[in-house]
Amino acid sequence: MSKASLLRARMAERGLVHIMAAHSPLSAILAEEAGFDGLWASGFELSALYGLPDMSLTSMTQHLDMLRAIAGCSSLPIVADIDTGYGNAINVIHAIREYERAGAAAVVIEDKTFPKVTSLVAGGRQELVTIEEFQGKIAAAVASRQDPALLVIARTEALIAGLGEAEALKRAQAYVAAGADMILIHSKKKDPSEIESFARGWTGAVPLVVVPNAYPELDAERIRALGTIRMVIYGNYAIRAAVTAMQQAFRRIVADGGVQSVHKDMVPVEEIFRLQGMDRIKADEKRFLR
């Protein structure tokens, strides 16, 4: 079974799948050990890892390299965040082929103009392409996939752009007509009211995806109650967790003048060895080194 087929099977079996963001092979390993259903190859997190804003500044090559590295160390299906598809519909054709070869089980394409600005930043430029242009991108993605199970997820930023629910529903229905397998609906409100209202009003033939970054109280119980959502992506929590831990540790080391206090609150180096697979390497050394 392909990873794309596995992801579809998990949604069918469980009703709702939980996808954790990853920006490195190590974060992917930790997400798999924690029990998530899949990984989100996040453009935002990769940009942050490079110390750059999420504004189409990292390249497709950089993102693909990280996705390949993640796919090589995790058995989980990967949902690839490919932003606007790196250009027009022709760029999308190339991107789909590359991401599928790299190991993606799903791709998410958003209806913003290129270059995009991250959705949740205050005062960000949130411009959308026409419905017809984005339908062409979705149709190109569907026509280009080799595995028919690869999920093409259309993300509408109509709520982010302040265009309202009616426009968001109109766009989502049009994207389904173009062949989208799922619709990702996003909001920057601090409560889930926009998302819940959209989900209740959704009558489309495909399920929804949500990313509860700005409205964390939208938990699995509330999501399931809406009846139209099959995937939840925790879109920036890996990088935020990493930054939180590093900021706290680094500040304590500076304040204490050393690591004499902070070291006891960290995992031992042996845990890093375990995550690196050192036992396997040692066994291979014993078996094969002459």
Q: What is the CATH number of the domain that holds 168?
A: 3.20.20.60
Q: Which residues contact 18 (CB under 8 A, 6 or more apart)?
A: 36, 37, 38, 220, 232, 234
21 phi, psi to nearest 5 deg: -65, 145
Question: Which helix or strand (DSSP H or E) is residue 133 part of?
Answer: helix 131-144
E strands, the chain, in order: 17-22, 38-41, 78-81, 106-110, 151-156, 182-185, 208-210, 229-234
Q: Which among 199, 176, 149, 110 is positioned nearest to 5, based on CA atoms?
A: 149
CA distances from residue 162 to 168, 195, 213 in whole angstroms, order as listed = 10, 13, 18
User: Do 254 and 151 share a domain, yes or no?
Assistant: no
Task: Flag residues of the chain having pLDDT under 70.
Answer: none
Q: How many domains does the chain have?
A: 2
| Structure confidence at residue 116 (pLDDT) | 85
User: Do 123 and 176 share a domain, yes or no?
Assistant: yes
| Structure confidence at residue 23 (pLDDT) | 96
Distance CA 270, CA 153 (A): 40
Q: Which among 65, 120, 114 is positioned nearest to 240, based on CA atoms?
A: 120
Q: Which of 236, 251, 279 is the last residue of a domain?
A: 236
| Structure confidence at residue 59 (pLDDT) | 96
User: Do 156 and 141 share a domain, yes or no?
Assistant: yes
| Structure confidence at residue 119 (pLDDT) | 81
Domain housing 279: 243-288
User: Do 223 and 251 share a domain, yes or no?
Assistant: no
| Structure confidence at residue 25 (pLDDT) | 97
User: What are the residue numbers of the active site?
Assistant: 54
Contact 40, 21 (CB under 8 A): yes
Residue 3's SS3 state is: helix
User: Do 253 and 220 share a domain, yes or no?
Assistant: no
10-22 confidence digits (pLDDT tens)? 999 999 999 999 9
The pLDDT mean for the chain works out to 96
User: Do 56 and 191 share a domain, yes or no?
Assistant: yes
DSSP 122: T
| Structure confidence at residue 263 (pLDDT) | 94
Residue 147's SS3 state is: coil
Q: pTM for this structure?
A: 0.95
| Structure confidence at residue 121 (pLDDT) | 74
User: Do 92 and 216 share a domain, yes or no?
Assistant: yes
| Structure confidence at residue 154 (pLDDT) | 98
User: Do 65 and 157 share a domain, yes or no?
Assistant: yes
